[in-house]
Structure 1
């Protein structure tokens, strides 16, 4: 037993037998789907919103990017607050903000107010994931069952299913009462989260970590300057990625200056927002962040770039393109459901990397005469690594992150996801400058092949992945993970 476990007290036999507290699943799942349901429902409402406010696509696009920007910045910031103050109050505050944002969007008199509501939605939906990761770590400490792969699989499948049903649900709501309903639906969702969170989330959680052999309890000091500098760095960088033009040269400069200030601040302050010294010394966690970014560059670029080409380059209608892409989502869900409970991650990442390479290579063979069934098969191949890589990276983070900073570490993982999405968006724009042509698709495929090979290289170069899932809860070497039903 470790010194930290001795100080906290060994988990009782009854706690071990009980396994993970299943009452936590409902608020965790419902909170975690708030972001994907709002992302996916909007896809079918952009045109009606543009017509309602007489706004071109270049302006309504901010409804998408506003949510992504706020979420990318908000996840690690709110995650750090979860580390300091516990998951319950941040979960309740975040889901309350979701309800307020939904009401604001429903009553929005202009596009600017609607964009503001999406930004608030981004911040509000940023609380549930780091809170869930914090709770999983606390449950691991309570029960002694170190691998929550089953719970992570439930969260991952829930998010993937919601992403699939989001557009049809949005279409039904828009058809039933106009685009306002896709914002109004956040009000009952928020109320449900508040009720479940109030009834089921623990009021406190122990936050203890081991450092240099000394017990160190997380203080309540909030590094506001560090958070502001981090937000400025990330926002400027992401704004440039969304539209990388020479005339916007000042944005990388702002990002560089703010980033330098952030680094100096975090190294010198006693209670940093991001402990750069600890992070720099945690090479496995940095590798996980790199894999997450690379995985989602490929995932998002394939999802949106391939879909655009199917419609414009292959000449299918929007509804036909949607059917072609269904196997991608179905494969991702199926792979997650089948492999999710397995705690070992290296095999998933290696297979995911190899299949990702195969999917990107297959794009080089596609042209305007490719059979529809072949395109659907390519989509299914591309969906498999989505079900492997994201979940494996979550399991890796759970094993690698400092327990006292689990919330902020989980938030940074999500930030890497959205950075990958923005890099993918820039790659799509660069490849399809003259339209979604077959030549543009092949150009995109070449870029994605490089990214996929880098992903596999980072995976193979990380020896720490071999140990994840092999160690028993009690700490014995090379023992199988101790998981129970429902975990």
Structure 2
């Protein structure tokens, strides 16, 4: 949503800050109490989507189908970005890069440890443990948000002196949700595509575009996206990158369990090098000022990792299996921090919340497409042939990502 908030006037200080004090340390705002609930809330969604990767086989033995509950957790990250935007407006300075780095690290860190944690939980208490772990974390985040996140700033009065309406777009939200739902159902079974679903998807998309272009305060600002090619390319790059990453999260772990015979716990431990590499590189990526360099390196490593997967088989040494996971951990850390920095740089400040939400939408469309690719490659059971087919497609996408990143002029010189 693109609700606007009033920007209050600067608050006068009683006494000037000492001349020797750094500007960022002297300025108020962005305290640990403000950022703590944002960090805790933001880690829930990536933690859930990655913990389940090593539990897919175990869960598959108990369901015919799965329901991923992500409405609340998906809202946490864009809401956090909107809170930081309001704090920037309140104190009159931009959000420090260190704060954005911590937010990115919370999401990437939880995503990185998800496969290993999920595997250990399944081994210790069963697959239900990966869902139960949400309860204490969510309660802590809820309590911290009530205590430490300030109330929303007052909204401007309407021209007639009345209370302005909330910047919500119920019809736009409904059309977007319906179109995305139809697309998800189409992508979930590409082995037996339901072609007629493309018709309602096209109708819903056309209706959404028409409505968003007519509304002065739309749910998705299509005019902004059309005029902001750098931001649109960021979403495309982010979605394609995570398509490859989730092929490993879901496809590689499934192959380890079904083709190599590892348990969920052992698979989680095999993914530990990937988790450690992602954690370390997310910290390095947060400290790097440039965007193009880390993204290019990440895309090259994604392609290399896909190439390694093409040569794995039932008798591949354990060391090579560990190396394959690590090849994807490094780009996972770099891509998340770099694309978050790109969204922060390219998106208008007043719509940073919805811009961050669209980044996550692109990411999970990539995840859904990855699950469809895995199903198409594996069929009824994961095997070497299916893994090689999936890896071949991933390698081609990796090359395209390299080209898309290297040729993007907007990334040159960006910090």
Q: Tell me the TM-score normalised to structure 2 length.
A: 0.84
Deviation at 1:408, TM superposition (A): 1.0
1:129 maps to 77
In the alignment, the residues of structure 2 paired with residue 430 and residue 46 of structure 1 have an alpha-carbon distance, to the nearest angstrom, of 16
Deviation at 1:165, TM superposition (A): 5.4
Q: 1:259 aligns with which of 196, 205, 226?
A: 205
1:381 aligns with 2:294: no
1:325 maps to 271
1:21 maps to 31
In the alignment, the residues of structure 2 paired with residue 137 and residue 343 of structure 1 have an alpha-carbon distance, to the nearest angstrom, of 20
Deviation at 1:359, TM superposition (A): 1.0
2:93 maps to 144
CA contact (8 A) 1:432 1:441 kept: yes
Q: 2:141 aligns with which of 193, 200, 204?
A: 193
Deviation at 1:154, TM superposition (A): 3.1
1:372 maps to 318
Deviation at 1:187, TM superposition (A): 4.4
In the alignment, the residues of structure 2 paired with residue 229 and residue 261 of structure 1 have an alpha-carbon distance, to the nearest angstrom, of 7
1:432 maps to 378
Deviation at 1:448, TM superposition (A): 0.3
RMSD: 3.1
Deviation at 1:244, TM superposition (A): 2.6
In the alignment, the residues of structure 1 paired with residue 322 and residue 134 of structure 2 have an alpha-carbon distance, to the nearest angstrom, of 33
CA contact (8 A) 1:29 1:158 kept: no
In the alignment, the residues of structure 1 paired with residue 390 and residue 324 of structure 2 have an alpha-carbon distance, to the nearest angstrom, of 15
Deviations 1:166-198 (A, max 9, x none): 4156448736xx94x665554443332232112
Deviations 1:303-361 (A, max 9, x none): 22222223344454444333222111111111112332223211110111111111111
CA contact (8 A) 1:207 1:403 kept: no
1:231 maps to 177
1:2-21 matched pairs, under 5 angstroms: 9=10, 16=24, 17-18=26-27, 20-21=30-31
Deviation at 1:382, TM superposition (A): 1.4
Deviation at 1:245, TM superposition (A): 5.3
In the alignment, the residues of structure 2 paired with residue 47 and residue 321 of structure 1 have an alpha-carbon distance, to the nearest angstrom, of 11
1:174-189 matched pairs, under 5 angstroms: 174=125, 179=128, 186-189=134-137
Deviations 1:188-230 (A, max 9, x none): 433322321122112124899xxxxxxxxx9623211111111
Distance change in 2, residues 1:315/1:124 (3 Å): closer
Deviation at 1:395, TM superposition (A): 0.9
CA contact (8 A) 1:42 1:170 kept: no
In the alignment, the residues of structure 2 paired with residue 246 and residue 164 of structure 1 have an alpha-carbon distance, to the nearest angstrom, of 29
The SS at the match of 1:57 is coil
The SS at the match of 1:58 is coil
Distance change in 2, residues 1:443/1:151 (3 Å): same
Distance change in 2, residues 1:227/1:434 (3 Å): closer
2:404 maps to 458
In the alignment, the residues of structure 2 paired with residue 310 and residue 385 of structure 1 have an alpha-carbon distance, to the nearest angstrom, of 21
Distance change in 2, residues 1:275/1:386 (3 Å): same
Deviations 1:64-92 (A, max 9, x none): xxx2xxxxxxxxxxxxxxxxxxxxxxxxx
CA contact (8 A) 2:303 2:398 kept: yes
Deviations 1:91-132 (A, max 9, x none): xxxxxxxxxxxxxxxxxxxxxxxxxxx3xxx22212210111
Deviations 1:401-442 (A, max 9, x none): 121111111111111111001111111111112632222222
Distance change in 2, residues 1:372/1:173 (3 Å): closer
In the alignment, the residues of structure 2 paired with residue 297 and residue 437 of structure 1 have an alpha-carbon distance, to the nearest angstrom, of 20
Q: 2:353 aligns with which of 404, 407, 420?
A: 407
Distance change in 2, residues 1:150/1:40 (3 Å): closer
Distance change in 2, residues 1:372/1:262 (3 Å): same
Distance change in 2, residues 1:139/1:158 (3 Å): farther
CA contact (8 A) 2:292 2:412 kept: yes
Distance change in 2, residues 1:9/1:258 (3 Å): same
1:269-288 matched pairs, under 5 angstroms: 269-288=215-234
